[in-house]
Structure 1
């Protein structure tokens, strides 16, 4: 009994020291873990930004400040309203100045897009219907519109949590306020589809029918369509579009940026 008591006393005496040692080890690990994670996060961010810049440089239709300025200039030239409120939006819908985006086998609208913002200008609708048809014929894949008309009120709210969002007013305001601009989602597109879309959109941009900006943070093609698109007709293919003479000299591709695309959504 005496020996058992001695052994038990020794175990009880040593137990706190053992636990203390484990606690100290865990404490050291806890102190070193944040520094390790911080270094890992920093290296991942550097890699992510490097890849993002490489993607942007590889795109012939990446966004630039000059492109956003041109889109706003075209809105002014075409005398389009920059929609401020939901009441103004409803008035334009009732007047059929804005038309609803169709939903078909070829073309869909993002489920999270509210009913009142599933509208655009008639020529923009014609463009996206044509784009979706051509894409379906080539790849048997539907096209998804992720954004269309917006109001200045909505854009102001968007700026609060999306630092990449364009302003609700001024020369760099979001072109979505005109109703002539849509975003087409890139998620799920193969490399072949993205290349095809770039070529398709660039051909129309060079003829002055639209301006396109490929975005990478939101993974969309941001497209402002101009009234001239009506001259093509709803059933003219890209090959025919390339043969249509431009009313003005083709707009040259903008210079490549060294940093990610500027705010425009």
Structure 2
């Protein structure tokens, strides 16, 4: 990718006002667009470096404060000044009418984010005091593509497809877990159904169980029946699990 500078852009980046004026006299374009990768316009370069006088001069020469940054790793003039804590330049750009709504909303929110991440809370406060914060600002703030290095339309679209794919995968995983949970519940229901098909001995009245136990205890000659042990176990379970029924 091209990250070169025009002579005018290089002069602005170095803060060389004399050279910049000479180049202007020779017909250099003040608003020459930035190179695709980490490029800068003359105004962006001066704003990032914090050259207040040069920024003012370029604005007088009708440099565009809203010019887009490089598609990859680029900054607008406002973003670059805020990111590096250039408070005087930020204020100058705001006073010059730099856009912070509509088409300028993205650079405004990005400028706030860059300033915050680089530890410039006063710059954040200055930017936020410029105008009221809106729902549209907040929605953009939560956009995962906001600070991506690749800000080209193609790059943003690609990133959003990846985000959408991740969200779809997360949804599928959630649905899979729900299905698995549903299967577990179905198995439990089936187990309960199977249990229900067996004789529910615990539902028999306690009096019946007690009468059976009495017979088994008193009549030694009564032959044992195959179900005696089951009856006895049912009685023990009933009386231990529901003692209040036996009262």
Structure number having the greater helix percentage: 2
TM range (shorter): under 0.3
Query: Which structure has the highest strand share of the two?
Result: 1
**Structure with bigger gyration radius:** 2
Q: TM-score with structure 1 length normalisation? A: 0.25
Q: RCO higher in 1 or 2 (8 Å CA, sep ≥ 6)? A: 1
